[in-house]
Structure 1
Amino acid sequence: MCTVSSSAIAQKMVFFVLFYVVYFNALLLTLVPQIYTSPVHLVYLLLFYGTAFIDGMVRPLPEKREVDTYTKTLIVFFGLQPFLFVLAFYENLSLITRFLPPYDSQLVSYAGISLYIIGAALSVGSRVQLGRQGSGRIEIREGHTLVTTGLYARVRHPMYSGGLVGIIAFGLVFRCVAVMLFAIALFFVVFQKRWKREEQLLEQEFGEQYREYMKRTRRLIPGVY
């Protein structure tokens, strides 16, 4: 058991270092080094990396490893993230400062920081609540249970809700509009298929119990969607 646990931790650490510390930072340092001299952007980056690290550590590894077409889509989606940071920075620099100066305020960025913390807590908290069922792979494990309490009492996918909040927070921190709207659209394009597939599997597994749960909850936003 300890050997498996140590191996899983090692895999997660290697991924975090290679993707976030090396790849992410290399692109940002090359394309927008100014971010590293901005206190509010530094705070955001630390929170962003910290959330990614914690989420990776609490996320159980999937029982099966398969790289299908959708998994490749997710890899591309996450691989594009640093480029969204770059585009957001330059949108603010070239457009927002000129045409929407009231939005270009440090207060907006710090409001985004606060909102990001809420989104991160939603995402990580909902994964922790799922326990061993919260792997990144869509699967029904042996002994799988339907979680309908806590963060799952109001929405069926609080993890994705947290991600959506995080994107809005990102837009506020970087004080951008177009890139934020693009990121939101991309989020729905990429993840809508995923949460619908999750619902399909859970309905097959739990039947009427899950259908009743769907009737009293929304997908992402309480009372809205």
Structure 2
Amino acid sequence: MASETNQDAPQSNGKATGGLKPTTATLLAEAIAAPGKHPHFIRGLALHFAETAIFLVAVIGAIALGLGITAYFGEHRYVLAYLVAYAGFRFSDLIVRDDAADSPPHEELSRRIVAQLPLLLTFAAAPFERTYVYGGAAPAFVRALGLLLELLGMWLALGARIQLGFFTAGRTAENPVLVTRGFYHYLRHPIYAGTFLVTFGWTLIYGAPVTAILTLIIGAIFAQRRLKSEEAAMRARFGEEYDAYMRTTDALIPAIW
């Protein structure tokens, strides 16, 4: 009489072959139909997608080097100066960042990569607009202004992150600290303000007005949603203390927003 349990089928030599594993296509179909049933598969798929995207970007960069991108940088010194400064900014930001994420590392990596997609669009759109719409290079004073805004944004974002870590040293979950000194005395979100200046400076490096306007609009929309969520959490955490802080400071732009 056959057993009702799903046992491994024996091979001809008497050894068990093991149960058949579901294929990727099967898991993908099940994950689409019931997302909560295979959360690990969804996270793994997102991580693999991010890994593939990073590799493709690296391949494109290698091709660009092979086509003589170094000569291009030699002719466009402001572009090279921006990219060198930006690389230093991102590296410094990683060093001073307080990574206290609750999610697993691969989930945090996926989240951060997805969050960078609007920035990558800006990096692609500005040179595309300059090259295929206007041609040539932007006026020198516009490019110099873009580099100046980038350096100002780096100083603001990195300085604010360092101050945040310094003023909250020794904090605990039972005794949180609301930072209202340094850059936070003037702006509630100086890190976001600085990061936006860094991004907006790229549109000026290439002199791409359409990309600059879209960056302002899309950036304002994203910032409004992000700040609303974060400030609601801060008000729930600090209560009247944060309400009083909001009444005496601006969010991103002094005297404007």
TM-score bracket relative to the smaller structure: 0.7 to 0.9
Q: In the alignment, does 2:239 pair up with 1:207?
A: yes
Which residue of structure 2 aligns with residue 14 of structure 1?
none
Kindly report the root-mean-square deviation, in angstroms, between the aligned alpha carbons of the 2 structures. 3.3
Cα offsets for 1:67-120 (capped at 9, x unmatched): 9x999675324035334323211211222348xx8xx21221122111110001
Mapped contact 1:108–1:172 kept (Cα < 8 A) = yes
Matched length:
197
Distance 1:175 1:214, change over 3 A: same
Mapped contact 2:143–2:205 kept (Cα < 8 A) = yes
* In structure 1, distance between residues paired with 2:195 and 2:238: 26
* In structure 2, distance between residues paired with 1:78 and 1:181: 19
* In structure 2, distance between residues paired with 1:133 and 1:78: 28
Distance 1:36 1:48, change over 3 A: same
Which residue of structure 2 aligns with residue 193 of structure 1?
225
SS of residue in 2 equivalent to 1:223:
coil
SS of residue in 1 equivalent to 2:180:
coil
Match of residue 182, structure 1, among 190, 194, 214: 214
Mapped contact 1:110–1:173 kept (Cα < 8 A) = yes
**TM-score, with structure 1 as normaliser:** 0.73
* In structure 2, distance between residues paired with 1:105 and 1:192: 32
Match of residue 90, structure 2, among 39, 52, 59: 52
User: Higher RCO, 1 or 2 (CA under 8 Å, sep at least 6)?
Assistant: 1
Structure 1 position 175, deviation (Å): 1.1
Structure 2 stretches of 5 or more lacking a match?
A: 1-50
Q: In the alignment, does 2:130 pair up with 1:92?
A: yes
Structure 1 position 184, deviation (Å): 2.6
Alignment map for 1:138-153 (pairs within 5 Å): 141-153=173-185
Structure 1 stretches of 5 or more lacking a match?
A: 1-17, 135-139
User: % of aligned pairs identical?
Assistant: 25
* In structure 1, distance between residues paired with 2:60 and 2:118: 11
Q: Select the structure of larger CA radius of gyration.
A: 2
Mapped contact 2:101–2:108 kept (Cα < 8 A) = no
Match of residue 121, structure 1, among 140, 152, 155: 155
Distance 1:106 1:114, change over 3 A: same
Q: Match of 1:146, as an amino acid?
A: L
Structure 1 position 61, deviation (Å): 1.5
